[in-house]
Structures are given as structure tokens and as C-alpha cells.
Structure 1
Amino acid sequence: MTVPAPDGSRDRRIEDPSNLWLIHPLGRRLLPAALRLGVSANAVSMIGLTLGTLAALAYADFERWPMAVLGLVLSVGWLVADGLDGMVARATGTASPLGRLLDGLCDHGVFILIYVALAWRWGTAGGWALAIAAGAAHAVQSSLYEGERARFHRRLKGIAQPRPPRSAGGALLRAYDRLAGIPERLARPFEHHLAEASDPREVGRRYADRAVPAMRLLSLETANVRVLAIFVASLLGDPRIFWWFEIVPLSAIAMIGLAWHRRVEQGLVFSTLSPAADNSARLFVKEQGQ
């Protein structure tokens, strides 16, 4: 059974628990005031960026535990604003490509600032190299997770993804598109299956029921988990703990989650094909026995 979020935008089964019980409830409490004051979604995004910047400044002095706590509190405020801007956009019908771009830039900008603050405070070449490697891993992991989450919610509605057009750019751009498009190509058989289904919504519902565990694992790639990991590493006095957490466990989770998700899709496609294959086999045996 699908349990929609209060605003109908997300399936609660695959949401991070901190979103369900803290971040989004706080955002919904602030929503009426934001609407009453006429605060735009883009303004909320900028407020979030400001809170995230202050969090980075606090983490620049992470060796003092009160500053680490302050960094966590400000980071939670940033996460609330990050959810609230979408609520405002949906409530006012002002969602736009520019708003989504600004929201994404604010999210990435906050993490970049925090990484820089931690690396600057740690003050070694090895720390900077580790921070850069962790940031690169973060970018890949987040891109993969957001793609899988968007795919999940679209399919839940019974909507198949049309085949993307061929890249018309140069050799470098085509190579990038091929690399970035690997998850999409691996997911293509199920997209075709969904597009050909007589009842796409029913197929989407069955798919979602089976894909929930894989998506719950992938939900560990959310910003919320990283915010908590940054705080814990800061309390322990060593930001390298967080960077290695990004590089090793979160990378492994992303790969396992993707493989699990594709396995779910393959199981649904093959289970649909199996009855037809069994019927053909029975017909062949019957004919041979005549």
C-alpha cells in the first residue's frame, strides 16, 4: 500500500526517518507563516544557503564541541529550509527550472563550504586531497541516488521514461553521456515493460512494493546522513572519519543499492515473461503426445 506524504510529493516508505519525524514536520509548521508573509521559494533557498554558510563557519572551529553542536543545529536549519522551499513552490504553483537549479546549487554549495572549512582547519595536504576525493564521491553518489529516487516516484505513477535522444555533441560529450547514462540503459528493459503494460499503474504499484527495500538502502545517501556524519566526525576531532565514510561505505551502499534495484526490475520483467514461456512449453508437450 502506498502511503503518500502530506503534500503528496513523495512516498513515505523510502524517506529518511529524520525527514519523516523532524525535517519535514518542521517545514510544514513553518509553511503557513511563509505563505502569509509572501516569502518566495527562491528566498527560502537563499535562507537555507545562509544557514549552511554559518554552519560551515562553525565547523571551521570543530575542535571546540560547542561549535560542532552549533554547526549541527545550523545544518538542521538548512535542511528544513531545503525542504520548505519545495513546499512553498508547490503550494504557490511557482515551481520552475530556475528554482530547481537554485535549490541544487545551494545544496552543493553548502557541502562545498563545509568540506573547505574542515580541510582548512585540518590544515594538511593529505586532508585536502582526502576532502577533494570525498567531494567527488559525494557528487557521484548523490547524482545516482537522485536519479533512482526520481525513477521510483515516476514509475509509481505508471509513467515510463521515453528513450533519450542520441547525444549530438563532440566525442568528449558523447563519452560523458554514455558514462552518465549507464544506470538509465540498465533500467531500460523495465521501462519498455512498463510502457507496454496494459495497466501501467498496476505494474508501477507492484514494482514500487518490491523496490522499497532497495530504495531504503539508497536513502542512506541523503544529505541528512552526511550532516550527522560530519557532526560525529567533528565531535571525535577528526574530519577524515567523515571523508573516509563518504569514500568507502557510502560508495559501497550506492553500488549495492543500484544492483539491488536493477535486480528487482529484472525479476518483474522475467516473471511476466515466464507464464508465456510455460504455456508454450506445455503446448509443445501436448502436441508431442498426440
Structure 2
Amino acid sequence: MTSPQPDKARLHGNARIAAMQNPLDRVLYHPLAARLARMLAKTPVTPNMVSVASGMMVVLAGIAYVQPGWPGTALAGLALHMSWHVLDGADGDLARLTGRSSPTGEIIDGIADYASHFILYTMLIVSVIPVAGWIAPVLGVAAGLSRIVQASFHEAQRRQYLCWAYDVPWLRTRNAASSRLGALGAAYLSVAGWLAPGDAAIDRALADPDQREALREKLIALGPAPFAGSSLLGANYRTIALGLSMLAGSPLWYFLYEATALNLVLAQGVWRSRRAYAALSTRR
């Protein structure tokens, strides 16, 4: 990560805004991530290295989950998967502390997350094929595809909210650092834009100095939930849900939950976000 960002990004980073945090973030992940980032800031370790390490923790979680020795291996897998959240927060904190925030780092972080979870899901599917047969790949692929769509909506809406309410830049508001990463960023945004298209009227209002502050006050008062949907769509509770499923003896319970219940939560979130956009436009 290069190209330092303004101090505003440090002050208004995701981990610094209470409305953007769920209880696990506030109590566990963000305090540990901040402490780790402060330690790493004194070393040659870069934010991109931390992003890659976070992906490795997901892969290690998958390896633990598919080993014999339940329930110890299930608990080990859950602990390793939870450590991903700490590292996933530490890379951004480290980038802000060292002035290395950039679009390239944001995309590398996303690639590490998606690639590592692809490996995790593949291992889980393969591990239950001998028991469940064709049901395992069908449910596993359905869950994986659902996760991509659900996470794209939730994270894109959260980032859009941060941009609107706190002026924190993200990929929609800046150019990627290289053509290859720019293409990957465009692919991510195309998926996110389908379900989280933003609102041109709100963008125009925020560009108008006469309307900007009043609209931001409304956005902050509303909070991110009307735009990003339930926190169940976020990664934190998915990790816990998978751990509980493995403690129950199989990842199939988690696949079923992600492919059915969370898609209903997604549909409600999309509907709610469109209503929130319309309400903001009407109030102005």
C-alpha cells in the first residue's frame, strides 16, 4: 500500500466510528487489531503482508475444521477463523498509522478474503462428500455464491455510507493504482453496484456546499443499518455460525443457513436500502 491518504481517513476509519461496529468489533476484534497495528508499525511489516496473513488464517481454519478429533478441531478452526477478523482489521489500522492507505491495498485485502474463503469452502465441501454425496457440492456452491452477493451488498453499502457520512474515500471515489488491479476493482464494483447502486441525487447534494452538512447530519442520525442491512450479512456472525455448525458435526447446516436464511435477510436489506435512498431524496 502506497500513496498516503489525508489525516481525515485516519480519524474516520471504519474502526473509529461506533455506529459501524457490532459488539464483537467493539469488545474483541478492533481493540486487538489496533494493538497489533501499533506493534507492527515499528517493524518492516507492510499492510499488504498483514492482508495476506489474514487470508492464511482462513485457510488454516479450514484445515483445522476438516481434521478428525471433534470437538477440539472445530474449536481450533473457530479460533483460527476468528483471528482472521483481527488481522483483517489490523491491515487497515496499520495502513492508516503508516500513511500507506491506497486503492491497491484495498483490492489486495479483498482478494485475500475471497480467495481464502474459496479455499475454505472447497475444503469443507470435499470433507462431507463421502457422507452427503451430491448434496454437499450443491449446498456448498449455493452458499459460496450467496456469500459473494450478500457480502458485496453489505460491504459496498457500508463503504458508500462511510463515504457519504464521513467523507472516507473508497474504490468508487478514486482510481486504482494499476490497470490489473483496476480491472479487479471494476469487477468488484460491478457486482456491488448491481445490488448497491448508490444514488446520484445524494452524490450531487453532497457535492453542493449548501446541502452537504445538513445531508451528512441526516445520514449520521440514520446510521448505516438502513443502507447496509442486517449485521448478519457481515463476516463476524458468519464466522460464529460456521463454528457452531462444525460443533454440531457438519458444515451442511451452515451452507443451508447461508443459502436460504441469509438470502431472505439480503432481500429485506436491499428493499430497505432503496426505501432509505428514496426517503433521503424526498426530505431534501
Please indicate, yes or no, whether the TM-score normalized by the shorter chain is above 0.5. yes
SS at match of 2:210: coil
Query: How many corresponding residue pairs?
Result: 256
What residue is the counterpart of 1:188 in the other structure? Answer: 200
Deviations 1:156-210 (A, max 9, x none): 0369988xxxxxxxxxxxxx99886444557334334444572302212212312
3-state SS of paired residue (1:83): helix
Whether 1:85 and 2:91 are equivalent positions in the alignment is yes
Q: Which position in structure 2 is the counterpart of 1:252? A: 264
Gaps in structure 1 of 5+ consecutive residues: 163-175, 273-290
Distance 2:63 2:196 in 1: 39
For residues 88 and 153 of structure 2, the distance between their equivalents in structure 1, rounded to whole angstroms, comes to: 19
Show the counterpart of 1:100: 106
TM-score, scaled to structure 1: 0.79
Aligned residue for 2:199, secondary structure, equals helix
Once the two structures are aligned, what percentage of the paired residues are identical? 26
- Quick one: distance in 2 between partners of 1:5 and 1:15? 17
How far, CA to CA, are the matches of 1:5 and 1:218 in structure 2? 25
Alignment partner of 2:276 out of 253, 264, 279: 264
Deviations 1:216-239 (A, max 9, x none): 743221111111111010011121
Distance across 2 between alignment mates of 1:136 and 1:240? 15
Deviates more, 1:248-257 or 1:65-74: 248-257
Partner of 1:46: 52
Within the alignment, does 1:140 sit opposite 2:146 as a pair? no
CA contact (8 A) 2:157 2:196 kept: no
- Asked whether the 8 Å contact 1:14–1:216 carries over to 2, the reply is no
For residues 232 and 185 of structure 1, what CA distance do their matches in structure 2 show?
A: 34
Q: Which runs of 4+ in 1 moved over 6 A?
A: 158-162, 176-179
Query: How high is the TM-score relative to the length of structure 2?
Result: 0.80
List aligned pairs for 1:1-290, cutoff 5 A.
7-10=11-14, 11-61=17-67, 64-123=70-129, 124-157=133-166, 181-183=193-195, 185=197, 187-196=199-208, 198-215=210-227, 217-272=229-284
> Residues 125 and 222 of structure 1: is their aligned pair in 2 closer, same or farther, counting only changes over 3 Å?
same
Partner of 1:171: none
In the alignment, structure 2 segments of 5+ residues that lack a partner are 1-7, 174-187
**Contact kept? 1:52, 1:78, Cα under 8 Å:** yes
